[in-house]
Structure 1
Amino acid sequence: LRLRYNISILSSAGLVLLWLLRSEFTNHSERHRWSYAEVIAVLSIIFALAYGIGGAYLLRAEFSGIETWADAVYFTVVTYSTLGYGDMLPQSTNAKWFAISMVSVGIGSFVTALTVLLGPLIENRLKGVFAVVSKFQKSVDHIVVCGYTKVTESIVDELRTRQVPFLIIDGREDFVVHLKNSGLDVLQGDPTERAVLEQANLSSAAAVIAATDSDATNTLVALTARALREAGEQHKFRIIVRIEDEENIAKVESIGVDEIISPSTLGGRLMAQRAVGAAESVDHD
């Protein structure tokens, strides 16, 4: 009887709390208005904590080790987190039934809250990935650019100017979020993995550009792309690789890529040519 009385008190307190927070459901003028599900999720956590703390304190005489509100909070957190140190134990049947009810209430409340609060985040991320993959599964003659770097920025500018569809693959989450917010089509993943290149529909692409800052990574991308191209007769895409170290050029040529470009080498030679041309022009004058 005492247990039912205590539970009824806690339930009544929960209803009062819901009534006091009713404005969260009806106030449309706030800049950020919580959804019904978010409010219920937060209130379920508050109710679970209040139920455990209040019940443990009211039944403190029937527990070993619970004497103060701090003890009740400690017992509730330890019970809900399933740590179970064993320093506070129920000593009566009512206390045991209350501990069992705490587990039921806690599991239900926290699972509901996690589902409501984290579910939309996961769902939105999956939708974004599926949207990009779905778009390029239907694309033909697009360009797949692997790795987002300073060189990639120039590549993107040129492709945009020529109005050529392209997809960037990068494994860094922060870069992917930034690029998506900038309006670019980006697929998060490791471009050296065949499955990721297949998601980018490389088989129907016009070319793949390995443009990371690492010669080793670019070489692995080229090897994976070549294996994918050789696997199907319809795969005609070109493989273009960025190599910075001139000593690696001959090695990459041997794996059968279509073109190797060294931005640093080209830039250095171009500047030298311009300098020599300027000097010859001065001498001629």
Structure 2
Amino acid sequence: MNSRKLQNIVPFLMSMLGIYVLSLGIVSVVFGRKLFENLSFLQLHGGGTASIFIGIFMIILGNGLRARTRASWYIAIFLILTSLLSILVRVRGFSLIYFDAIGISANILILSLLLKYRKEYIFPSRTIYLPVEGKLALAAISASVVYGVAGTLLLGNQFEPPIHDFYTAVYYTFVILTTLGLGDILPITDTSRLFTVSVTVLGIASFLGAITTFVGPVLQQRMNKVVNVMESMEFTGFRDHSIVCGYTPLCSEFLKTMKSMNIPIVVVVRDLELATALKNDGYIVYREHADNIDVLRKVGLKKAKNIYICSPDDGYNLLVALTIQKFKKQEHLKCKVTAIVNSSKNAEKLEDFCDEIIDVSRVLNDHIMKNKKQEI
């Protein structure tokens, strides 16, 4: 097996190791206490519970390693080292020694591969933006869990059966927070009943808030994709139409004129609010990045007569122009490309990729100078 194939198999091996470590952790937690009553807290939770979380993170980490991000490499090294440590503190005498030996070997194998190909993991990680509502939702859930576990341990004798260990308190808290109500543990005093009701109310409120915060944007994205697909189906019948990539208020009158002349126009913009406003004005809008060749295909670039690049960002305009020029050469298209330049210093950069350049600052300067001459 060559080095490239060996490197590409690392994410798969990491995910498989995660499943293996997760399974060992579950077995240790479920059967460890039953078989050995004199187990220490460190042996049970450090060897079993820790392995469960390590295994879950290893499974999730597979995608990051596949993208060869720098952060995923560091996290993978950390997880492997903690996995080896959890194996060392696992339940002594418990009959998992042979399985642990396999786990140690697999950890060392993947660790050696990661160290060998460490120079390949050079790409930056994508920044995950979490809105304020999301942070508040996570904080509410965390506070509810802490409140539930701490209160359950404090009121341990007021339950039937009594709750005196951390594990059972966590179990009871999640049963109440998720409103499952299995009935195996019951509050037997007024105080414990009121506490259970308060945890239930907190659970319902925090989880509903989290669902609204996290699921809402996902559903919105799905709906936008469906709308884009439906709109792209409309473009299939277009011919000799105009495509406007980006939008600036400078071209608003131009769009109105084109619309009044019944010339079919498709506007491609990135911003949701801007797309909504243009749709309300009666324009056909496709909300995507215009520097994506697949997007340009969907809006009918092959059959378009004119393309206007009108974004207020000259850098973005240049990317769009490069993409269109490359596609024109591949498909031997004859459509005319016109770009609006917001800064004169960027005009030369766009001239090689566009048929016509409209320099806003130069047009404004010529207009002012013309008026000055008339006054003189």
Q: TM-score range by the shorter chain?
A: 0.5 to 0.7
Question: Alpha-carbon deviation of 1:159?
Answer: 0.9
The match for 2:295 is: 196
| Equivalent residue number for residue 170 of structure 2 | none
**How many Å separate the matches in 2 of 1:265 and 1:169?**
26
**Corresponding position of 2:273:** 174
Instruction: Report sequence identity in percent.
Output: 19
Task: Give the SS at the match of 1:160.
Answer: helix
Contact 1:241–1:257 (CA<8 Å) still a contact in 2? yes
Residue 375 (structure 2) pairs with residue 250 (structure 1): no
Q: Secondary structure at the match of 1:222?
A: helix
Q: Which residue of 1 aligns with 2:227?
A: 128
Is the contact between residue 341 and residue 357 of structure 2 (CA under 8 Å) also seen in structure 1? yes
Cα–Cα, structure 1 residues 247 and 81, in superposed 2: closer, same or farther, change >3 Å?
Answer: closer
Aligned twin of 2:105: none
| Aligned CA distance change for structure 1 residues 227 and 53 (closer, same or farther; 3 Å) | closer
2 CA distance for matches of 1:52 and 1:245?
60
Structure 1 residues 83-124: Cα deviation after superposition (integer angstroms, max 9, x where no partner): xxxxxxxxxxxxxxxxxxxxxxxxxxx99xx99x99986675
Q: Which residue of 2 aligns with 1:68?
A: 193
CA distance in 1, matches of 2:183, 2:194: 9
| Number of aligned residue pairs | 198
One-letter amino acid matched to 1:273: K
In the alignment, structure 1 residue 164 sits paired with structure 2 residue 263: yes
Amino acid at match of 2:264: P
Go from structure 1 to structure 2 and tell me whether the alpha carbon gap of 1:118 and 1:241 turns closer, same or farther (over 3 Å shift). Answer: closer
1:276 and 2:370 matched: no
State the TM-score, normalizing by the size of structure 1: 0.58
Task: Tell me, yes or no, if the aligned pair for 2:269 and 2:289 is still in contact at 8 Å.
Answer: yes
Q: Is the 8 A contact 1:203 1:236 kept in 2?
A: no
1:10-69 deviation digits (Å, cap 9, x = unpaired): xxxxxxxxxxxxxxxxxxxxxxxxxxxxxxxxxxxxxx999938876993239xxx8033
* Secondary structure in 1 matching 2:311: coil
Local SS of the residue matching 1:190: coil
Per the alignment, residue 213 of structure 1 pairs with 312
TM-aligned CA distance change 1:232 to 1:275, over 3 Å: same
User: What SS does the corresponding residue of 1:52 show, helix, strand or coil?
Assistant: coil
Q: Give the letter for the 1:267 counterpart.
A: L
CA shift, 1:244, in A, is 2.3
Q: What's 2:326 paired with?
A: 227
Which residue is 1:150 aligned to? Answer: 249
With over 3 angstroms needed to count, the CA separation of the structure-2 counterparts of 1:191 and 1:120, relative to structure 1, is: closer
Write the deviation string for residues 161-211 of structure 1: whole angstroms up to 9, x where unpaired: 322110111111111122222221110011112122112111111111110
Which structure 1 segments of 5+ residues have no match?
Answer: 1-47, 83-109, 280-285
Quote the residue 2:334 is aligned against: 236
Give deviations 1:185-239, integer Å, cap 9, x for gaps: 1100111121221121111111111101111111111101101111113x22111
Q: Any idea what SS the aligned residue of 2:312 has?
A: coil
* TM-score normalised by structure 2 residue count: 0.45
CA distance in 1, matches of 2:252, 2:266: 13
**2:298 & 2:349 partners in 1: Cα distance?**
28
Q: Does the CA-based 8 Å contact 2:176-2:196 persist in structure 1?
A: no
Which residue, out of 39, 42, 59, partners 2:186? 59
> CA RMSD for the aligned pairs?
3.8
Q: Could you tell me how far 1:277 is from its partner in structure 2?
A: 2.1
Kindly provide the CA deviation profile for residues 123-147 of structure 1, in whole angstroms up to 9, marking residues without a partner as x.
Answer: 7544432232111121011111111
In structure 2, runs of 5+ residues without a counterpart are 1-174
